[in-house]
Amino acid sequence: MMSDKAKLVNDGDPPPYLTFPGEQVLPPSDQVIYTTTGAGYVHVTESTPNDYMWLSVLTCLFCCWPLGLLAISNSCEVQSALEVGNIPRAKEKSVSAVKLNIAAILSGVTITIAVNLIVFLVVLPNQNQDDY
């Protein structure tokens, strides 16, 4: 019995590319993977993990650049892992990139709030006292 994501393709219909048993081929995002099972080809749909590069660049520019650089590094590793077909490593680095992006956003917001509090509660009130 086959799952919803897998269905047997007619033996007369060749897949768009051939694979050998046990070989993993990486098609584009939201791809279709064809593998042999001995009885024919199995059509399996699997989506690739997101690299979150756009979010990593934005957090590096506008939030917390050290964490943003680490997130960009993990995003690049997702792309590299996908190029060689290492989907488990790509998923691992994708999760890591998201966590670093969230940490960078939270750090940027926290630092911005702290700086504004210091400026408005400490610096500006003391400026008025120096004028007299």
How do residues 69-87 score in pLDDT, each as one tens digit?
999 999 999 999 988 888 8
CA distances from 87 to 80, 94, 100 (A): 10, 10, 20
The pTM (predicted TM-score) of the whole model is 0.61
Residue type, 96: S
Q: What is the pLDDT of residue 105?
A: 96
Using the 8-state DSSP alphabet, how is residue 39 labeled?
S
